Amino acid sequence: MNKYKSLRHIKRYRKIITTFSKYGLKNLASFIKYFRLPKKASTPLLMKESAINLRLALQELGPTFIKGGQLLSSRSDLLPNIAINELQKLLDEVMPVSFTDIRNRIEEELNADINSIFNYIEEKPVASASLAQVYKAQLKNGDVVALKILRPGVNKIISTDTDIFQSFASILQDRFPYLKAYNLVELVREFKKDLYKEMDFELEGHNASKMAENLKEFKFIRIPRIYWQYTTKNLLCLEFIEGVKISQLEELQKVSFDRKKLASALLDVYSKQIYIDGFFQADPHIANILINKNGFVYLIDFGSIGKLDENMRKEISTLIFHFVSKDGEQATEIILRIGNQKPHTNYTAFRNDISSLIADYASAPPKYLSIGKALLEITRISSKHSVEIPAMFSQVAKATLLLDYLTRKLDPDFDYYSYLIHLTPVLLYENITSDYTPSRIARNVMESSKLISNLPAKISYFIDKVLKDEFHVVFQHEGLEGISDTLKKSGYSIALSLVALGFSFTSILSFLLGLYVIAIIFGTVSLLLLFYLLYQLLRNINWQ
């Protein structure tokens, strides 16, 4: 670490300590479960005050702390509910940088005078957040666009703060060994990586384009167009959307929008993102959804994207199914497959806690059911029983919690349970059919081509050996010769039956996917094998 970087860290440490002291450092620590403070420090009133002070301190310390607070708001395994609820109120709004500085930065990014590209750029920002500012502008061709520009100096702040976070996480894990179960160092490393992705506006543009492709089946959904010729890593130029935020309920009524239908439709959109595509807006905030005068719903802000690999996507979908079917044991098995179980984990106690959670939520009135809260509670129970849950699961939990809030904002009486009952068959169908896409079948056929091409010769060789009585099963015990004949007959029948069943299954799947030639080939072979087995059964041929 060079002396300039070290000096920058010292100054930042001073700012952090000063800010937390201003809001009461001791009180802030009182709500963190793993700080062993006197009982009097944990009264409900003091806990509430501490949570509010934490939110204010994080907001004052800037982008890294605001984003960190938003991340912690999904970690009920680390913080109690009173702190979680307060951190969810974190506002990413700051005083804007002067337009002169912004103008210079835009010209640097585009390597041109702004007057040669734009008819105008409004000097007052439409939005001013900790990472970027957004301005309304008009291109020379008349298109009205939004310019999202990275705030000057934000890279240095992020770099310094994340270095400090990593040092602090390492110290905490060394000082308190039980915190190693929460893998704080890895949590900070992932947080840093995600934060730098969020500051890459070219990546955000590609995220928006991919989301538009994924959601094209929803005719009412729109994603703003990206103007790639005016987009760089630090500047995003996109279609400007005039619309009503879905949080503005009175305005929604003016445009005659059915809020109940909108709630269900948006849930369909985000369910596809999470459970089918595994590519979703990690922050589906109500401010990121607009409705224009033509009734189209625009999704904006794709800086924070959650990604699930195929296995995790399927496991979470199956977990939702077991949640709806009230199957605590199977839900426990899914969670253990998702997470990392420690040797001392008490399976029975863990299963009982998960079953109790499912029973509590299943018996709650539909209007109070929250899948987001249930998923967050799963992370808390897992932590209690030393089951380490991956960060992507917590990301899904946070996004789902925001969806719950969004849905209830539009329709306070929304029946989430009935919605899930209709959703789970769709998810299970997607899980099954995704294993049998044409590309996957083609790959499996190619991998198995050698086996399939050799199979007839091997079956012929096997049958020839049997008919010539050259196939022997040797028993070392006396008096079992009669049984050996029966076993041989049964073994041959079972082997051929399994081959026929496999060919039949492949034929049916190929037919459903439109691969008719493959379906006919495998269907014909399976029928021939079945006829042969039936012939043997009816003739009762002796296979000695």
- Main-chain phi, psi angles of 115, to 5 degrees: -70, -20
pLDDT at 100: 93
pLDDT at 480: 47
pLDDT at 451: 54
Which residue reads 């899930």 in tokens?
A: 420
Contact in structure between 290 and 297 (CB atoms under 8 Å): yes
Closest by Cα among 163, 318, 134, 313 to 236: 134
Query: 94-103, 247-256, 356-365, 452-461: which has the highest mean pLDDT?
Result: 94-103
Say yes or no to pLDDT of 544 above 60: no
Contact in structure between 231 and 106 (CB atoms under 8 Å): no
Paired residues of 305 in beta bridges: 281
Looking at 89-98, 389-398, 495-504, which range is the least confident one? 495-504
Percent of the chain with pLDDT over 70: 74
Alpha helices in 176-299 (DSSP H): 184-198, 201-214, 249-254, 259-271
pLDDT at 327: 87
pLDDT at 133: 93
For residue 298, name the pLDDT band (cuts at 50, 70, 90): very high
For residue 83, name the pLDDT band (cuts at 50, 70, 90): confident
- Main-chain phi, psi angles of 238, to 5 degrees: -145, 165
- Per-residue pLDDT, averaged over 281-291, amounts to 85
- Per-residue pLDDT, averaged over 45-67, amounts to 83
For residue 36, name the pLDDT band (cuts at 50, 70, 90): very low
Query: 221-230, 276-285, 314-323: which has the highest mean pLDDT?
Result: 221-230
- Per-residue pLDDT, averaged over 60-82, amounts to 79
pLDDT digits (tens, 9 = 90+) for 415-459: 888 888 888 888 877 777 666 555 555 555 555 555 555 655 666
pLDDT at 543: 46
Contact in structure between 338 and 383 (CB atoms under 8 Å): no
If one compares 333 and 186, the residue with the highest pLDDT of the two is 333
Say yes or no to pLDDT of 259 above 80: yes
Say yes or no to pLDDT of 527 above 70: yes
- Per-residue pLDDT, averaged over 363-385, amounts to 83
φ/ψ region of 62 (left if φ > 0, alpha if ψ in -120 to 50, else beta) reads left
pLDDT digits (tens, 9 = 90+) for 317-359: 989 888 888 888 899 999 999 988 878 889 899 999 999 998 8
φ/ψ region of 514 (left if φ > 0, alpha if ψ in -120 to 50, else beta) reads left
pLDDT at 38: 42
pLDDT at 499: 65
Q: Are strands 221-222 and 297-299 parallel, antiparallel or unpaired?
A: parallel
- Main-chain phi, psi angles of 146, to 5 degrees: -110, 135
If one compares 480 and 219, the residue with the highest pLDDT of the two is 219
pLDDT at 475: 45
Q: pTM higher than 0.85, yes or no? A: no
By CB atoms closer than 10 A (0-12, 13-18, 19+), residue 323 is buried
If one compares 481 and 309, the residue with the highest pLDDT of the two is 309
pLDDT digits (tens, 9 = 90+) for 119-137: 999 999 998 888 899 999 9
Looking at 95-104, 116-125, 260-269, 447-456, which range is the least confident one? 447-456
Distances (CA, A) of 51 to 25, 33, 88, 179: 11, 13, 11, 21
Identity at 507, one-letter amino acid code: S
Percent of the chain with pLDDT over 90: 28
For residue 255, name the pLDDT band (cuts at 50, 70, 90): low
Say yes or no to pLDDT of 183 above 80: no
Say yes or no to pLDDT of 152 above 80: yes
For residue 187, name the pLDDT band (cuts at 50, 70, 90): confident
For residue 388, name the pLDDT band (cuts at 50, 70, 90): confident
Contact in structure between 80 and 116 (CB atoms under 8 Å): no
Mean pLDDT of the chain, nearest integer: 80
According to DSSP, residue 427 is labeled H
